[in-house]
Amino acid sequence: MTDSKYFTTTKKGEIFELKAELNSDKKEKKKEAVKKVIASMTVGKDVSALFPDVVNCMQTDNLELKKLVYLYLMNYAKSQPDMAIMAVNTFVKDCEDPNPLIRALAVRTMGCIRVDKITEYLCEPLRKCLKDEDPYVRKTAAVCVAKLHDINAQLVEDQGFLDTLKDLISDSNPMVVANAVAALSEIAESHPNSNLLDLNPQTINKLLTALNECTEWGQIFILDCLANYTPRDDRESQSICERVTPRLSHANSAVVLSAVKVLMKFMEMLPKDLDYYGTLLKKLAPPLVTLLSAEPELQYVALRNINLIVQRRPEILKHEMKVFFVKYNDPIYVKLEKLDIMIRLASQANIAQVLAELKEYATEVDVDFVRKAVRAIGRCAIKVEQSAERCVSTLLDLIQTKVNYVVQEAIVVIKDIFRKYPNKYESVIATLCENLDSLDEPEARAAMIWIVGEYAERIDNADELLESFLEGFHDESTQVQLQLLTAIVKLFLKKPTETQELVQQVLSLATQDSDNPDLRDRGYIYWRLLSTDPVAAKEVVLAEKPLISEETDLIEPTLLEELICHIGTLASVYHKPPSAFVEGSRGVQHKRLPGSAGSGESVDSPDPGSAAGVTEAPPAVIPSQGDLLGDLLNLDLTPPTTTGPPPAPSSGMQLGAMDLLGGGLDSLMGDESEPLGGDLGGSAAMGAGFGAPPAAMPASFSAPVSGGLDDLFDLGGGVGMPMGAYSPPKTVWLPAMKAKGLEITGTFARRAGVIQMEMTLTNKAMSVMTDFAIQFNRNSFGLAPAGPLQVLTPLSPNQSIEVSLPLSTVGPVMKMEPLTNLQVAVKNNIDVFYFSSQYPISMLFVEDGKMERQVFLATWKDISNDNEAQFQIKDCHLSSDAASNKLQGSNVFTIAKRTVEGQDMLYQSMKLTNGIWVLAELRVQAGNPNFTVSLKCRAPEVSQCVFQSYEAMLKN
Amino acid sequence: MIGGLFIYNHKGEVLISRVYRDDIGRNAVDAFRVNVIHARQQVRSPVTNIARTSFFHVKRSNIWLAVVTKQNVNATMVFEFLYKMCDVMTAYFGKISEENVKNNFVLIYELLDEILDFGYPQNSETGALKTFITQQGIKSQTKEEQSQITSQVTGQIGWRREGIKYRRNELFLDVLESVNLLMSPQGQVLSAHVSGRVVMKSYLSGMPECKFGMNDKIVIDKQGKGGSSEEGGKSGKQSIAIDDCTFHQCVRLSKFDSERSISFIPPDGDYELMRYRTTKDIILPFRVIPLVREVGRTKLEVKVVIKSNFKSSLLAQKIEVRIPTPLNTSGVQLICMKGKAKYKASENAIVWKIKRMAGMKESQISAEIELLPTNDKKKWARPPISMNFEVPFAPSGLKVRYLKVFEPKLNYSDHDVIKWVRYIGRSGIYETRC
């Protein structure tokens, strides 16, 4: 029997035929027809028109047919919600079936149908299935809770399913435990502050027991969950490690890597002098090596992870260099990754072997791979001083091959070698010069020019060489032009007599004929330097250069720590934090290694603590008022329960107001606060943190604002975002003068519900800048970077880079003066720099800031007139509608409009990230460019800032 | 978790599409086709991120299997799952081909419904799945049968069902090793390792408890005595150092960790009990000695000697030596002492085949390669000479010491079980640079 025939029908009128067949009396024919429908669905044809006919086939004893119909339902129920109801009865009936396989099938499928009306009916059967006598049904029901939570989180909480799910962790069947853990972990991820996965030594013990008995997949769920736990002390940490290590011998690589993750994390807490610590290190190497004999795709994932592990704990694999040697038949993605690790592991002990290998690779065919191999040779020279000479001679051999891209790559790395070991290998310059003509890539040309300029005094025909480049000056890329300019100036300073003409030529090319401001600026500086004070010029241009670092491409330490917590996952494959590629609230939370946590921020495991009590308070019901606005509302026929944005709890406002007014947080945080930048030392702070148990946080410390806030975020999440949010133009925050050549200009923007700090970093210094990191001082609204600063490539001189840093509002809070002041510290390899900037408060207006009219009215009345502030906006030529639209783009929502005597009154609301509501009345008189804004808010401090934003938003 | 799974043919047409999560839309199917299957460049990574959606793929012959997700999933798990899915499909309907996938699409959907729930892998053991997912549809089971199925699928021993009976209790044990070598032209071993597998076929009644023992150095040293005299082995060594091993999920890992004993209740039929890796004291069955001389710009002289390095009473089989030739080869003259040699222009290689060769022998091939003059600047990369062979011993030196079977409930003892042990050593990537 073959099913492929179902794929072949393509003729017209097919739907009608299928309809007839589906309604046929013959069972066989029906089944055939459903199969055809599924086949059409698979290839992407729209068969939703057959919905009622397919659903009619659902009532059958034939399980295969039933499964097919269910498959269809899962695909199309959402597009036909009313029809889908027809299926409910069958589901409910199936949930009572004596056959556990059918009960499970029903509950499993029902959870996949994302129709509100169906989910209502799902609750009762689900409750029964969670307590079913058969483990197969229970394990299916456990996952179903996660499904339901994804559709309607509130419902799951109200129905108490979360507690039942927690109980399942103690189930007698290991697979039920594993699925319950998986479901709870997923639900907890979307509620970072909830205490859902209450991991304590008892539950951990249960999990460890189940670990020995469940399926390979279950073991992965449990290990991934264990990795989120922070042991109380090193003893507990060790005992967990001991029970996890046997997993390293599992045949499933995912079990192995998840176990590695747990061990890598918990190891942080073990004292280094402990015998067990050494044993554990030794145990980690063999399984990691074994991963390399898996299928190539797994090898790739393993290698990306090993790259992280090697950076964090180089000692684990230091003797295993050979296994990373590239095999001729490895896929290219495996080859490139192996090469990276070889460089990381290169040391004096193995350098001879490594070099021999690299030389071999440099003769392969894949261009990317060859280039990387050549570059690797250069990096070895820089990393292992003893090998530099051998590396250089290897590179020279490669240059002799005359293969174009090999030569260019070699020249680029030789430049770095010259930088690292000045005055040592200049004898090779002659060979390099022979290849001048073959260089066609800017990077290689620039490197070659740099070499000629740097060693102009030893190259007899340096002037001729540089002159030859000068011919096509305007066709060169900026990189080459800048390098050429500098090189000729160097040459002039070294051999002034013969080269005066040349230097004049290049200066006029750079300053008069070029459109590039960087080039012009540099040209003018040289020109003036040379004309005013040649001695000073010599000091500046021929100054001694700072040394370059040994290790390159290292991942920034805080990011590395976070990635170690994500071993085995996509984040570890991309080498990016989950927030960089996961949408929504999931994964935004940053994980950190236990030993180093607790140094000033509470991102790790915020405790809902005091906030929980406040947010759970029921929203106050405000009776409607007999007013004009109230009348408008009464015309509205939609029942309040199903309207779009849920009514905001008025208590939220009080919470926000309290935070701002009281400043009581400061006293709570007293001990934890550190001078700004204290944590920027990165690795140093981390090192100190090892071995020490994480500092216990006072429960009240973890930013009470965040509790309420995240809930609000969740509500606002899916709503379509207007894109036209106002963002001020970039201004200079940190002038290069103050920051040893680093210039930062920037602005703030709110995009898709996320506050972004958008910066342009420009390197105006002469040396490469690396290792960027950023940190904020405590501020009024708890703004904090939601991820590390993503400057992955070193910033070379005269280069600028656009960085966009997503911000969260769950950081520590302290009232600032002015309110929207933000103090920032930026670190790079040179120093730490401080600056402050002010963000427009409109960044903090959240997407669900539209208040219900009734609530608006009541709130307006409720706030005392003392809290009202009135401002004038002058010279604003907008109609009231245009103004309203403009403001809406920045989440200022117009709730109602009233026209009295030619004057438009707009009633508007907005909500800040910390739950403070601001209500506004905007009066616009036709023909009068002066607007009047009245603001009412329970925290009157914000009024001034809001007004300023109003002005900026309207006039922009 | 896994958001969806798609199967495509080589043209990029969807054969199977199953979506588990709401955040995956239909356009994901097309995104993968356009950006990966139809991409002009060679695939540079098995993981692709397209518009914040991640795709994992593996290829089996002409068929692409892709998993799609928008979350930070466990990437290792996804690939393990994909391999497992391939295994399950192969177990059900043989080779994964377009025709087979189309012919079994209903079955595949049924499997996908069972193996993945909301993107979480569930039980993927073919043995268990076959008890209730059949191409013929479920036959109405009795109540006992049903609960037996569910307890097996969810239970601690998900890989074996109760009540298996055989008239003859029999066990087949194969030690399969692949020996990998990378050697420099001068004969220096750059890297060498053996990756081995212990594959079993068990036809045993009941729920037998098995214990497997081999000449693992750690165990032997612990016992304080060497293996018995007849286990001397070819190289005379009595125990071997295993770098690392991994086990089928039936093996009790905690017991291995504490006592280093391998005990388990085996699945029924074929399965892989363990994999291991060794790097020390490997017997390299063959040595390849290359000699390449460039005579001017248009001629190349190649001489390759192979030496067999094992007991002369043993025979190696299926020996094949592959000598790469430059792309601009115009003609080749070959002289070999043994076997047959041919120049295969389409593969840019000389392939030399020898059916059988005893230990401690050597053989030689010489070739004269004529080259077309080219102005290609790029030098010939000289890929390594590779070898294939099969030998009837384990190059790692591994020996099976015992495999004991206990089934307390049924009346057969360890002695009644007929056991077969076989050793096969094959070449993995066995290369000599020239």
Cβ <8 Å between B77 and A568: yes
Closest chain A CA to residue B28:
A44
| Distances A760 to A54, A782, A793, A804 between C-alpha atoms, Å | 58, 23, 14, 9
Task: Show the tokens assigned to B402.
Answer: 């015992």
**How many pairs of residues across A and B have Cβ atoms under 8 Å apart?**
280
**Is the Cα torsion angle A573, A579, A581, A584 positive or negative in sign?**
positive
pLDDT band at residue B225 using 50, 70 and 90 as cut-offs: low
Q: Say which range, A884-888, B9-13, B130-134, has the weakest mean pLDDT.
A: B130-134
What's the mean pLDDT when you consider all of chain A?
A: 80
Residue with tokens 């300023």: A948
pLDDT band at residue A244 using 50, 70 and 90 as cut-offs: very high
Phi (first) and psi of residue A522, to 5 degrees: -65, -40
**Between B140 and B55, the higher pLDDT residue:** B55
The CA dihedral of B145, B149, B150, B152, to the nearest 10 degrees, is 130
pLDDT at B237 over 60: no
Cβ <8 Å between B253 and A101: no
Task: Show the tokens assigned to B292.
Answer: 């390449």
- Would you say A260 and A309 are in contact if contact means Cβ atoms under 8 Å apart? yes
Q: Which residues contact A352 (CB under 8 A, 6 or more apart)?
A: A387, A390
B199-206: average pLDDT: 92
Phi (first) and psi of residue A910, to 5 degrees: -150, 155
CA–CA separation, A775 vs A783, rounded Å? 10
What's the mean pLDDT when you consider all of chain B?
A: 87
CA–CA separation, B111 vs B124, rounded Å? 9
Question: Of B23, B414, B106, B70, which is closest to residue A42 (Cα–Cα)?
Answer: B106
pLDDT at B227 over 50: no
B17, B103, B184 ranked by CB distance to A3: nearest: B103
B246-267 pLDDT, tens digit each:
999 889 988 888 888 899 999 8
A323-347: average pLDDT: 92
B148-169 pLDDT, tens digit each:
777 777 766 778 877 888 989 9
Report strand pairing: B286-295 vs A773-776.
unpaired
Residues of chain B contacting A573 with CB distance shorter than 8 Å: 47, 75
Per DSSP, the three-state class of A722 is: coil
Cβ <8 Å between A44 and B141: no
pLDDT at A684 over 70: no
Cβ <8 Å between A217 and B122: yes
pLDDT at B124 over 70: yes
pLDDT at A14 over 80: no
B49, B58, B379 ranked by CB distance to A581: nearest: B49
Cβ <8 Å between B17 and A573: no
Report strand pairing: A800-808 vs A754-763.
antiparallel
Furthest-apart CA pair in chain B: how many Å? 83
A268-295 pLDDT, tens digit each:
989 888 899 999 999 999 999 999 989 9
A770-788 pLDDT, tens digit each:
888 888 888 888 888 888 8
Smallest CA–CA distance, residue B379 to chain A, in Å, is 7
**Is the Cα torsion angle A242, A248, A249, A250 positive or negative in sign?**
positive
pLDDT at position B217 is: 87
pLDDT at position B314 is: 93
pLDDT at position A682 is: 36
pLDDT at B223 over 50: yes
Distance of CA B106 to the CA centre of its chain: 29
**Is the Cα torsion angle A747, A750, A755, A758 positive or negative in sign?**
negative
Interface test with B, best of A5, A43, A64 (most B CBs within 10 A): A64
B75, B125, B158 ranked by CB distance to A569: nearest: B75
pLDDT at position B337 is: 87
**Between B422 and A191, the higher pLDDT residue:** B422
Beta strands in A84-208 (DSSP E): none
Closest chain A CA to residue B98:
A4
- Would you say B4 and B32 are in contact if contact means Cβ atoms under 8 Å apart? no
Residues of chain A contacting B292 with CB distance shorter than 8 Å: none
Closest chain A CA to residue B107:
A64
Q: Which residues contact A563 (CB under 8 A, 6 or more apart)?
A: A308, A555, A571, A572, A575, A577
Per DSSP, the three-state class of A184 is: helix
pLDDT band at residue B378 using 50, 70 and 90 as cut-offs: low
pLDDT at position A585 is: 54
pLDDT at position A12 is: 59
Question: Which DSSP string do the residues of A487-511 spell out, in sequence order?
Answer: HHHHHHHHSTTTTHHHHHHHHHHHH
DSSP conformational letter for B328: T
Cβ <8 Å between A215 and B158: yes
pLDDT band at residue A722 using 50, 70 and 90 as cut-offs: very low
CA angle B356/B359/B364 to nearest 5° reads 65
Smallest CA–CA distance, residue A364 to chain B, in Å, is 5
Residues of chain B contacting A578 with CB distance shorter than 8 Å: 72
Question: Of B6, B7, B4, B5, which is closest to residue B22 (Cα–Cα)?
Answer: B4
CA–CA separation, A176 vs B120, rounded Å? 13
pLDDT band at residue A683 using 50, 70 and 90 as cut-offs: very low
Residues of chain B contacting A42 with CB distance shorter than 8 Å: 14-17, 105
Residue with tokens 């890992």: B253
CA–CA separation, B179 vs B165, rounded Å? 38
Residue with tokens 């005595």: B225
pLDDT at position A50 is: 87
Cβ <8 Å between B143 and A98: yes
Q: Which residues contact B136 (CB under 8 A, 6 or more apart)?
A: none
Task: Show the tokens assigned to B235.
Answer: 């190289």
- Would you say B192 and B182 are in contact if contact means Cβ atoms under 8 Å apart? yes
CA–CA separation, B74 vs A491, rounded Å? 56
Q: Say which range, A555-569, A789-803, B99-113, has the weakest mean pLDDT.
A: A789-803
Closest chain A CA to residue B193:
A323
Sheet holding B400-406, edge to edge: B262-264, B209-214, B400-406
pLDDT at position A827 is: 84
A32-55: average pLDDT: 86
A39, A250, A353 ranked by CB distance to B246: nearest: A250
DSSP conformational letter for A813: B
Closest chain A CA to residue B72:
A570
DSSP conformational letter for B33: I
Burial of B145 (0-12, 13-18, 19+ CB in 10 A): middle
Burial of B411 (0-12, 13-18, 19+ CB in 10 A): exposed
Task: Show the tokens assigned to A705.
Answer: 């604002």
pLDDT band at residue A653 using 50, 70 and 90 as cut-offs: very low
A83-95 pLDDT, tens digit each:
788 888 888 888 8
**Is the Cα torsion angle A349, A353, A355, A361 positive or negative in sign?**
negative
Distance of CA A16 to the CA centre of its chain: 49
pLDDT at position A193 is: 66
pLDDT at position A446 is: 92
pLDDT at position A8 is: 63
CA–CA separation, A26 vs A447, rounded Å? 79
| 3-class SS letters over A600-667 | CCCCCCCCCHHHHHHHCCCCCCCCCCCCHHHHHHHHCCCCHHHCCCCCCCHHHHHHHHHHHHHCHHHH
pLDDT at position A280 is: 92
Per DSSP, the three-state class of A800 is: strand
A74-133 pLDDT, tens digit each:
888 888 888 788 888 888 888 898 888 889 999 999 888 888 878 888 899 999 999 999
ipTM (interface predicted TM)? 0.79
C-alpha Rg value of chain B to the nearest Å: 26
